[in-house]
Structure 1
Amino acid sequence: MSGAAHLTLLSTPEDSPVTLAHRIIGQREALRVPFREAFEVVSRRADTDERDRWCSAVLAMANANAGPTALLAGWQLSREQISRIGPDRISALLNSATDTCKRAGAKAAASLLREAPLALRILGDPEALLAWGRIVTDLAEEMPAAVLPLLTETGRILSQTDIEGFRIWVEAGRRATERDRLSQIAFFSLEDPGALRLLSRSGRGQPFDRLEKRLSTYATALYGRPAALRSFEPSIDATAPSRANIAGGLMRLPLRFPAPEDDQDRIFLAAVAHIGAHLEFSRIRFEVGKLRPLQIALVNLAEDHRVETLAARSLPGLAGLWRSFHTIAADTPATTDNLLARIARALADPGFEDDDWAVSKARALFAERADRLEDPQISREFGSLLGNDFGQRRLQFNWKTYAVEPIYRDDGLGLWELPEDDAPPETIEMFTDAARPEESDNPPEREDGRPDPDLEPAELRPISSEDGLPIARYPEWDYRANDLRHEWACVCETPATLGSPSELGRLTEPFASVHEKLVRQIRSARIGRAERLKRQPDGDVLDLEAAIEHTVKRRLGELGDDRLFVRRKRQARDLSTLVLLDVSQSTGDRPSLSTATVLELELAATALLGRAMDDIGDCIAIRSFASNGRDDVRISCLKDFDERFDDTVAARLAGARSGLSTRLGAAIRHATVEIAPERAYRRLIAVITDGEPSDIDVTDSDYLAYDAQHAVRAARRLGVDVVCIALSTAHLATAKRVFGAGHVFPVSRIDTLPTALSAIIFRLATR
């Protein structure tokens, strides 16, 4: 011991932390010298109070039986890092190790102190290091088995995120594995693929997350309109590299393009500029007709070049940006995919020399149409003509493995109307596999600053059970972790309780006029596929066959038929509806100025709507739901699609009782799975509720609302409309966040139900 340290020891009281630490540690021969060396370093860097706190932390570790390994690691940390992070932060880390030792054992405590320098080097901030230690300690309190695996992977984990992302990731792991020790170890040791996927989305690591605001501003500056950006996570099972795509007015971009990190910024800028050109100049959607996938790819290629040419007229710098990605050489093997890339380069770069027949034909076709660049139909003509040449040469094309080149261009499928039933089977399959989410009239805004993920449809996995009650498990969206927790909520089918049909009649009797209004409204609505009516006196599209026939007759001196247009018109009704009835505990309350409970209002509204639709032959099903935690989401079938609204259905409705909670997301996912097979042009889920989502195992009031929002948007991806008939204004803001403001229809009194239904039908009939 140095003279200064010895004098310090002599001048301290017998009961001071300094004296006690030397007395206790000094009894261990193997520990005495390392402790005194660390003490001397601390004494030189710390004032008296800081030195005492450090000694107190050492004593706490010793009293917690942290063991020699942890103590030695703590003293080494003190000697090597005190000048960088300060004595009090060193003491705080020693205290974190003590708490970890009490909960997860001495090995975990020693590992925390050994990994602290690595964590500091990666995080680069002493305060972030302390936060890291506290997060580890908190995890030890709930999941001691997870701590050692977590610390073992410190470098791998922290290199992919920041401290806030680390906190979110650990919290997500705690929730996802709370009941299974083996799952905890797999998650925090990164053996669970879900943990790796979640880690890649937390904190830093994804170019889209880093660039989103810049990209939005960039797109707005280029084309003068706000840009709606959404990210999606590329599937690890995909057979072709990820490409951007268009969904309505949305620019959907992968979290990361399959390219080196240094190229990501330029690719994202080029992609946003390219999609913006489509939104600006691709003013129509192409009809698929009888086109095959190769012809569609050629039309897309031509349309890509057309809109880029138009955009570059006013923004010439874009041409150079886009051209820099066309790098394919003229001597690459003449496969179909390579030829498409070579054609794309030849059209974009006049100086590119390639004498292949396909390239020469493509250049000639576009040159012939150079004076019609404002007309999107030249792309359709280009694809049809060149596609025929490809077909005659019997070139093979596999759309499942095809990726548009160059990398910044979108996949092109957002430029097309969905194919009709008579389209080639491989074309139908092509569009089915690449289904796009529909753009909401009022999409929910992101409040946490993180990008929306790709919205996957709800997953159904039947469960075998002797009593048959559990029927499916569904995922649940964790907005805090930005992750979809697979197979998280269990839906159980509960037999409906029978009541008296006359009781339901008592509830609906005062609203006979409402029933009549509903029948008239539903019968008059035309909700079906728009049919193409040829030879019309007016319309938006010219009927070419009629026009040619008219011209021929006029030249022959005959009086031609002047009905020369094609018009789309909805001729018939084709709608299936599933009513999802909230019967949670809150529906037993009575709204102000009402003699009926919320549940009675719900039952009356459902009965009126169900009878009206049944009277005119519409398909309607009714389900009630409530929940008792994520493992017990109860669904009761009150009416099936193929049942008439008779006394049996009325008895089931009358037997509904209020109770339990409202796990809305799981109920919507199950309703989506039930209505998806219905062969109707429009499929509607109408949620009748009074409150916001809640459940006994959730304390975060926003958690279930965001999950329900995710379920609603996933349903819309599958072509299912979801609306909310809100029987209370108390939670109207939450309902608008979940469903979108344009999809929530307040009904304060039963006699206003026809007004709400009229708005719903109008929305369905005009989309």
Structure 2
Amino acid sequence: MEAGFDNAAKRLHPYLRALWGRELRLHPYDRPLQQQRPYLSELGIHLPPSWHAGQGGQAFTLYRAAATHAAAHLAYSHHRFERRSLKPVQIVLVSLLEDARVEQLAIDAFPGLRRLWLQCFPPLAGRDDSFAALALRLSRSLLDPGYEDGNPWIARAKRLYAASQAHGPDPAALREVGSVLGNDIGQMRLQFNAKTYLVEPPYRDDNASLWDSDQPPSETRIEQQDLAADASTAGAPPQQAPGEHGREASAREVASGADEQPAQPLARYPEWDSRIGAMRPHWCSVFEPAMARADPAPLQAAMARHAPLAARLARLIRAHRIRQPARLRRQPEGDRFDLDALVDAAIAVRAGIQPDNRVYMRTLHEKRALSALVLLDLSASTNERRGDASMLTAIREAAVLLAGAMAQNGDRYALHGFRSSGRHEVNYLNIKDFGEDFGDAALSRLAAIHGAQSTRIGAALRHAARRLADDPGSRGKQQLVLVVTDGEPHDIDIFHPGYLARDARQAVREAASAGVHVFCVAVDSQADGYVRTIFGENNYLVMDDVADLPEKLPGLYLRLTR
């Protein structure tokens, strides 16, 4: 049988009074056919006239869970969130996080409520990665400390939520966390239908009372959005600054923010799928968006403090011009004997033959021909401050010093960057190309770079190797790709640990077979494991302190190319 509102209300009134110390008014839905979740109004808590989801005691458990959850909002949800530019999916996620916040506060006061609410969760579909399933599993993860979910998006959501509340309950911070997570959902291409979405689990209210207008954020009351547009454009407010890599990020990041992207990819590359042991052809789409420009004056001013280091590098280059020794054998004169030629001459004398008098060896220090491509990780985490500076600031300053060293050394070089938002959008940024002077135009592009999105190194390496191969001035020269990164490869559409690292390792092997040497500088104290996997022994350098990058990167380059 169906449990009715009247019987439930009689039992709930004294129960709620005992918990919260005040009278809470309960009402049945005023429009039962349209309203599918509990809600709050100035009149009190509105519950369904009957609960079809359970019978007898099970239905009363749902009534009790719904009433206590709504009462927790009345007790703790005194902040009203602003909708502003939030998409419906982001509004739903902010509401979900606020549900978790008030439930935890209620559990702190009444520990038995956790068990009550957990009884009302429907079965979880572990292999269902639809938005609705992920949202339900996230709700369970935030409520149940013993629940483990292997989905990276859920793990990321838990970390961002915990960080936002680390210094005490802070409802305002949840808007930023929900904005970032909603942006991830859009980039994961998960469909979200605001018109048909229902809050889960069913005891939770529709969260309309949390927002700054009378329009509720979910179910049939959410403004209907075009699904395709919502899936592709769900993003954080554009004025926020980005801040994450698979490592922890500030909740104030923007995972998007790439430069203007062309309509069609410039190239498509395969990707190594280690799960099946095969390449997936035409798997990743690489774009080269138009680069923005910014006033280089602040960067030039910041470089003034590196003037002593730049001068020291210049002296090093002048004193030790990088040469590739060439030994010329069988010379008529030279600085040492050629032993093979001496032996042949001695044999000729004993055989009564006129010996060849070219028995010397001469060493020439010829300028070795090198073409280098510096590939900068420009993912969202580079915006994070580490001590006195961000990774992005260190990258800019190190790039200027490195460019000066390469130019003085007479090398052909390019400065490129990369970031990604899933396999369909790998952005490759041309800061300074081969054959271009590192003048005002290149410097203004460097000054404009910003961190955003994720780190799909394999696709970027394949494109870098192609750029080297396609550059006429690089042909016949030693070729080097120098990768500068601050963390392990990750992307929003990959949920398998090590998948992208193994693909990047395959890309390094492909480059090596084409005669391109790849070396990595990782500013990450935890990098040893993954950089060894990707680049191999002796092909990487790990730095713990981002402040060391401007000083050490040019010197490393000179040692590498000696």
Q: TM-score, normalised by structure 1?
A: 0.36
The structure with more strand, counted as a fraction of residues? 2
Q: TM-score, normalised by structure 2?
A: 0.48
Q: Which has the higher contact order (CA 8 A, sep 6+)?
A: 2
